[in-house]
Amino acid sequence: MSNPVSYNAHGPVAVLRIQNPPVNALSQAVRQGLSEAMDRAEADADIKAVVIVGDGRAFIAGADITEFGKPPMEPNLPDLCSRIEASPLLVIASMHGVSLGGGLEVALSAHYRIAQPDARVGLPEVHLGLLPGAGGTQRLPRLTGAAKGIEIMTSGGQVKAAAALEMGIIDKIETGDPQEVGLAYATELVNSAAPRRAVSELAGPEAMDWDAAYSGAVSKARGQNSPGAIVRAVQAASELPFAQGLARERALFTELLQGDQSKGMIHAFFNERAVSNLPELKGVTPRALNAIGVIGGGTMGAGIATAALLAKMQVVLIETGEAQASAARGRIEGNLQGALKRGKISQEQYDALTQDALVVAIDYASLSDVDLVIEAVFENMDVKKEVFGKLDAVCKQGAILASNTSYLDVDEIAAATSRRSDVIGLHFFSPAHVMKLLEIVVADKTALDVVATSFALGKAFGKISVRAGVCDGFIGNRILAVYRTAADHMVLDGASPYQIDRALTDFGFAMGPFAVADLAGLDIGWMTRKRKAPDRHADERVPTYIDKLCEEGHFGQKTGEGYYLYEKGQRASVPNPKIPALIAAEQADLRITPRDFSDEEIVRRYMCAMVNEAAKVVEEGIARRPADVDMVLLFGYGFPRYRGGPLKWADLQGLDTVLADIERYAQEDAWFWKPATLLKTLVADGRNFDDLNRAAGK
């Protein structure tokens, strides 16, 4: 392999140029190349300074994440950083694009840092369940102070050059070619006999209330370990000499790297990118996407229209009458006001989007020129078929007809048109302009370029798009129905909805299932139970206590009463005192003697139900790979990112133990707990879900 670090002497300055596309990650070869280039510069008596610069779009995006989990290879990054900092030559980092993680740590080991005005720096290791492990926790707070350093590292956010200059992270901002700018700065420093400045020789950051900072970080982290560890590492920077602080950082880093949380988050990092790389789409050209039609301006339709407007597309939204049209426009304007307030768009853009880019009409003929139309009307097959019939009549040839259905049969919807190959499911999650997940539901006859265009749409909308096959509920809602049922069974058997919600938020879920049900509306589950009732198996256990609440018109948050009670306009809630009595009555009817559940058992049953159904979804080809299921749960269902997704969780638990528990639960309820064949096969073969991911090409 050729050396990814080139060396060129320009008078007394040696330029070390990193060429490791796409983002100059610090692979072993780059580390070795940098180390050797430093040796070479130091061996040349004419060289007085070294400029480190990155080729392409970034200075350095950090350690090479693909190397994590493999045997360590010399030189390691902390040693390289110390070696750079200890150089007798002046070392200058000339930064452009991003300098992240190990990339910023290399720059912090240089003696001077100069950056382009649009450069950004950050230590995002927290997003990988880690902390900066090459001196970042020790050097950054020596420049910024402890509080700012902790904030940068626990948020993992990117700091713009101007702010970095103000905080002392960089020394200078200069526009121009990074190499030229770096060379000029180095020459200036050499000519003025500027001193070597090692950040490690600066005083440690001031002391603060470390325990308070630690508790603050832990409480925000919802179970993730690395933010607390970051605070402890910064504490070491404050309290210990540099070398000892570095050793403490190393120990904390190694502990995090060996733990499950970093494995989960690294799995998420790679798979949120890999999920939309479908081999069958290689070389397929997507259709044009300029104007989008949306049918229905309720919460979902308005959210989709907002996402399209924010993606700079023309939008034609169809409503049923003038009053509905004006309400829909109001919703979209409200969403865009939110974007305006958060600084995502300017007032000028807001005006252009609402006045020029958005048309709200009541006549389907207005859709004659759109490239893709997304139907977001009531979830009823007859209604959908009627809409698709009308779309078929008015939309131009080649227009894509998409349904936002969350569970209906997209093949049947497509059959209502004369162009089945142009029909696809685009299942957004509410609020559609905010939630990251998009399930792209590929029907039997959907053309490949329609799939490719749908992925292009997802990308333009900033979504994580996952391919799904047709079945009731596709990937996410199908699995949700099963783990929700496991929770319902636990309620019938004695666990309270409130204990379940708490056990699962302690596990890391954004919300527990009963709080989610209140948020989504209890009428949705009630309707589903009614819809599925005719096909119900005699052994199926379906609690009905909550239907009594629905019969009284209580549907959760929107009516102020559900599993919890909600004060008007408030999200905080208290348990609804009616619920225990309703549950007790049903237990009495069913002659169930309630028993105690530990939080651990609650989590285990809930997760086993999720994994079992997820395995069936993979086995049936509804999801392309196990990691696709993981991304659906992560981005659409509040699954804790640091656990990587249900199937990564199962891998980390050991599939044999998960299967053994499912088989044990099946002894109580054989109908519900049918072990997935795929799970049994993997256990028998000594393989796991990640082996399947690898086989499908990550």
- Contact between residue 26 and residue 134 where contact means Cβ atoms under 8 Å apart: no
Cβ at position 267, least distance to ligand 3H9 in Å: 12
- Contact between residue 585 and residue 545 where contact means Cβ atoms under 8 Å apart: yes
Distances (CA, A) of 267 to 129, 260, 513, 646: 11, 11, 25, 12
| Residue 125 known to be catalytic | yes
Number of Cβ atoms within 10 Å of the Cβ of 29: 16
Pick from 14, 18, 25, 659 the residue near ligand 3H9 by CB under 6 A: 25
* Dist. CA 370–CA 372, nearest whole Å: 6
Stretch that binds ligand 3H9, among 99-107, 281-289, 593-601, 624-632 (CB under 6 A): 99-107
Q: Closer CB to ligand 3H9, residue 101 or residue 182? A: 101
Q: What is the DSSP letter of 671?
A: T
Per DSSP, the residues of 484-530 read HHHHHHHHHHT--HHHHHHHHHHHT-SS-HHHHHHHH-HHHHHHHHH
Strand partners, 465: 438
Helical spans, DSSP H, in 381-464: 381-394, 410-414, 448-460
- Contact between residue 197 and residue 111 where contact means Cβ atoms under 8 Å apart: yes
Per CB under 6 A, 233 contacts ligand 3H9: no
Q: Closer CB to ligand 3H9, residue 128 or residue 413? A: 128
Pick from 22, 279, 321, 686 the residue near ligand 3H9 by CB under 6 A: 22
Which residue sits closest to ligand 3H9, CB atoms considered?
Answer: 101
Pick from 30, 31, 59, 105 the residue near ligand 3H9 by CB under 6 A: 105
Stretch that binds ligand 3H9, among 96-104, 291-299, 318-326, 511-519 (CB under 6 A): 96-104
Cβ at position 101, least distance to ligand 3H9 in Å: 2
Per CB under 6 A, 482 contacts ligand 3H9: no
Q: CB-hemisphere CA count at 13 Å for 517?
A: 31
- Contact between residue 30 and residue 84 where contact means Cβ atoms under 8 Å apart: no
Stretch that binds ligand 3H9, among 61-69, 410-418, 456-464, 674-682 (CB under 6 A): 61-69
Cβ at position 59, least distance to ligand 3H9 in Å: 10
Q: Which of 85, 105, 249, 561 is catalytic?
A: 105
Site for ligand 3H9 in 260-279 (CB under 6 A): 273
Per CB under 6 A, 65 contacts ligand 3H9: yes
Q: Closer CB to ligand 3H9, residue 59 or residue 428? A: 59
* Dist. CA 241–CA 200, nearest whole Å: 9
* Dist. CA 81–CA 555, nearest whole Å: 58
Q: Closer CB to ligand 3H9, residue 4 or residue 303? A: 4
Cβ at position 228, least distance to ligand 3H9 in Å: 17
* Dist. CA 120–CA 136, nearest whole Å: 16
Cβ at position 284, least distance to ligand 3H9 in Å: 18
Residues of the chain by 3-state class (helix, strand, coil), percent to 5: 55, 15, 35
In the three-class reduction of DSSP (H, G, I as helix; E, B as strand; rest coil), residue 366 is classed as: helix
Per CB under 6 A, 63 contacts ligand 3H9: yes
* Sign of the alpha-carbon dihedral angle for 199, 205, 211, 215: negative
Per CB under 6 A, 98 contacts ligand 3H9: yes
Q: Which of 125, 249, 272, 375 is catalytic?
A: 125
* Dist. CA 33–CA 49, nearest whole Å: 17
| Residue 85 known to be catalytic | no
Pick from 7, 34, 64, 401 the residue near ligand 3H9 by CB under 6 A: 64
* Site track 616-635 with ligand 3H9 (rule: CB under 6 A), x = hit: --------------------
Cβ at position 57, least distance to ligand 3H9 in Å: 7
Pick from 33, 54, 101, 645 the residue near ligand 3H9 by CB under 6 A: 101
Cβ at position 315, least distance to ligand 3H9 in Å: 26
- Contact between residue 105 and residue 67 where contact means Cβ atoms under 8 Å apart: no
Pick from 5, 23, 146, 607 the residue near ligand 3H9 by CB under 6 A: 23
Number of Cβ atoms within 10 Å of the Cβ of 574: 10
Pick from 5, 38, 91, 100 the residue near ligand 3H9 by CB under 6 A: 100
Per CB under 6 A, 247 contacts ligand 3H9: no
Per CB under 6 A, 150 contacts ligand 3H9: no
* Dist. CA 685–CA 119, nearest whole Å: 49
534's tokens:
């005719």
Stretch that binds ligand 3H9, among 20-28, 398-406, 481-489, 630-638 (CB under 6 A): 20-28
Distances (CA, A) of 155 to 98, 123, 127, 195: 16, 9, 8, 33
Stretch that binds ligand 3H9, among 62-70, 191-199, 410-418, 453-461 (CB under 6 A): 62-70
Q: Closer CB to ligand 3H9, residue 63 or residue 500? A: 63
* Dist. CA 637–CA 516, nearest whole Å: 9
Q: Closer CB to ligand 3H9, residue 197 or residue 250? A: 250
Number of Cβ atoms within 10 Å of the Cβ of 487: 23
Site for ligand 3H9 in 419-448 (CB under 6 A): none
* Dist. CA 649–CA 658, nearest whole Å: 10
Distances (CA, A) of 365 to 290, 301, 306: 18, 18, 21
Pick from 15, 34, 53, 77 the residue near ligand 3H9 by CB under 6 A: 77
Cβ at position 403, least distance to ligand 3H9 in Å: 29
Per CB under 6 A, 391 contacts ligand 3H9: no
Q: Closer CB to ligand 3H9, residue 254 or residue 677? A: 254
Distances (CA, A) of 47 to 6, 16, 53, 193, 479: 16, 12, 17, 14, 63
How many residues interact with ligand 3H9 (rule CB under 6 A)?
Answer: 24
285's tokens:
């050209």
* Site track 109-148 with ligand 3H9 (rule: CB under 6 A), x = hit: ---------------xx--x---xxx-x------------
* Dist. CA 300–CA 432, nearest whole Å: 6
* Dist. CA 298–CA 258, nearest whole Å: 47
Torsion angles phi and psi, residue 618, rounded to 5: -75, -45
Q: Closer CB to ligand 3H9, residue 107 or residue 516? A: 107
Binding site for ligand 3H9 (CB under 6 A): 22-23, 25, 58, 61-66, 77, 98, 100-102, 105, 124-125, 128, 132-134, 136, 273
Q: Which residues carry out catalysis? A: 105, 125
